[in-house]
A and B are shown apart, each in its own frame.
Chain A
């Protein structure tokens, strides 16, 4: 390669450089560190000793699955991947299906039975966090051992909380975080000066109504309150019975423990790329959506397009609507589709593949989709631990981060409305947090019932995930209420990916 620097002497700016003293460097905390600290605290108490295994896996590079492009030189690509030792997922599934038939499967533990464990954990976590927050604002209080007597909004006591809970059940979603912030601003009665004791002092003394610098302060513990468990809406959980692996879909992976890489995609004769590499966990939500020929499908938060592409490669989709909130994200998606779909401009764009740019909570095309994939924005656990850019643990984004469950529930509720009665959707996140997973599903179902009178059935996918257990490591269904989850595990470093299949009752 011709190097410019070796030919011309370019003047280089001399910089005194950033501070390099050890105490500066050591005390510097970046977004990833913040995320890790938060996870250590939160997931450490949720997953116990298993968290460290997940932690190591999350901090290490993830594993890919190769999706073969049906619009390129399919057979050549397949044989190339097979030569490298990759295995076709279809054959693995077939083997697993036979094996399961032979050993008449024992009844899997029914879902949603023993979840009290996790509730208790979250409960103690919430309490701990609140105590910590109180003691950080009122340091003397913690020393006195009299927590929770001063600040109204941070008071937490099981006995006193109960009547509140009942109130919340009636109006569960009125108290969004924004509103809560506005409403909780009230004058502290203790600090008002009664005029009858002489008003003279009042001219000099102005009681403080807010603490300077604390206007934007949001308690971290607000986040944990999103996990509610009391169900006051009709809910049925039933076993999903059938699973068909799409005939034309070829996914290639290496067996568990094999950490080889795939070759980079090549250009095919048709001008498209030969295969798409994606995190293995991301292939499962579109697979379990089970798109049938001739169906109209929505991908509510589509970018960067991996899951949309899986659905298109099944060749079942009649029309796919890809929605995302930002133009830049949509452009990314458009680029991927252009790279992978043959005759993109003539045959796809605007006809079978429709792009829409809108907030998924505001989509208004009700009762019109057969299948919806709801891959909501989340804390993207793997991303925030490894990348500084676009990191949601940036201190200025704290409100956005704490409001994530609310956003997710909003999207999911709206998607339930978009679904044709009888249609089904898959809700997925790439987070390990029970709040963003089961908590949000619960919240959305409750909201959909309360506001729009929509009832739904949760499909228990535990028998289907058993087919994939050679490739993925799944969280034991015991700890999950409404869905299944791929957990990061070093020999099969996929995920995390939570997914829950919900069918709208007709």
Chain B
């Protein structure tokens, strides 16, 4: 019995070692910033050539002290060269601003590496308020992070427009939060989302779920990311199975229809006694 257990433990340990070694071999960790790395970065982003090695070293050290690996540092710098010339204090400041959003270190690093421009944000109060608003709508920090990973420009969108879109997606299209965070739908303007949804409805390809339906029930509706994260051509041909001219004509006709509706309701407002 005891022998068996011991044997098992040994086997597991052995395997773990092997795994560890394999991982290590696959991506050797760069710990030191070397001239080769700098040269590579300059090749990718020539504007980086003007900075002295001292500046490189200083910035690298700052990032490394805050837990970002050298590879990530290089990605950030090539993506957003202006970061390099900032003083360590400024860099630390902007990192702190983001840390306050509480995505967790690892996720935050992923986000910043993917979108280095996010380091340009200086208004901590505003950002926190905005993140809090998003969190109130999608319930967890991780969901907020997912939203930002898909569409970083959410940071710049006013709350009203986000509110409008979210209300439409949740109340009219009846799509739940887990699906919303998997798509870049919020990056689209509201009119575009509504137009695509209406087109599918009129084609008879999108049926809103009944209010009391189980969210786990399978639907024939397309997923939100299929509807919103596609180019117009792909949306028309692959999702709706119509030709592009048809979708374009619909877009034009639908905007006109809405204009007419607005005009009509404005005219009626003054004369009717009806409340609805």
Question: Using a CB–CB distance below 8 Å, which chain A residues touch chain B?
Answer: 3, 5, 12-13, 15, 17-18, 22-23, 26, 40, 49, 51-53, 55-56, 59-61, 256-257, 259, 261, 489-491, 493
Contact = CB atoms under 8 A, between A and B. Distances in A.
Query: Main SS of the interface on chain B?
Result: helix
B273 A5 contact: no
Given A22-B211, A40-B204, A56 B250 contact: yes
A490 B249 contact: yes
B9 interface: no
Contact of B248 (A17, A23, A56, A257): A257
A55 B204 contact: yes
Contacts of B257: 60-61
Contact of A491 (B241, B249, B256): B249
A55 B245 contact: no
Given A5-B270, A13-B273, A489-B246, A52 B203 contact: yes
Interface of B: 199, 202-205, 210-211, 241-242, 245-250, 252-254, 256-257, 270, 273, 275-276
A53 B236 CA distance: 11
17 contacts: A15-B275, A26-B211, A52-B203, A52-B204, A52-B205, A55-B202, A56-B199, A56-B202, A256-B245, A257-B245, A259-B249, A489-B246, A490-B246, A490-B247, A490-B253, A491-B245, A491-B246
A261 B257 CA distance: 12
B202 A60 contact: yes
Contacts of B210: 26
A61 B245 contact: no
Contacts, number: 65
Nearest to A52: B203
B95 to A, nearest CB: 47
A52 B211 CA distance: 25
A55 B206 CA distance: 13
Contacts of A23: 211
A59 B202 contact: yes
Contacts of B202: 55-56, 59-60
8 nearest CB pairs, A to B: A56-B202, A490-B249, A490-B246, A491-B249, A59-B202, A52-B203, A259-B252, A56-B203
Given A12-B273, A40-B204, A491-B249, 17 more contacts: A26-B210, A49-B241, A52-B203, A52-B204, A52-B241, A53-B246, A55-B202, A56-B199, A56-B202, A60-B250, A60-B253, A61-B253, A259-B249, A489-B246, A490-B242, A490-B250, A491-B245
Contact of B203 (A55, A256, A489): A55
A51 B204 CA distance: 9
A285 B253 CA distance: 26
Given A3-B270, A49-B241, A56-B202, A17 B253 contact: no
Nearest to A39: B204
Given A17-B275, A257-B245, A493 B253 contact: yes
A17 B276 contact: yes
Contact of B256 (A59, A261, A489, A490): A261
Contacts of A59: 202
Nearest to B270: A3
A490 B253 CA distance: 9
Contacts of B203: 52-53, 55-56
A40 B254 CA distance: 22
Nearest to A492: B249
Nearest to A260: B252
Contacts of B273: 12-13
A254 B47 CA distance: 52
A26 B207 CA distance: 13
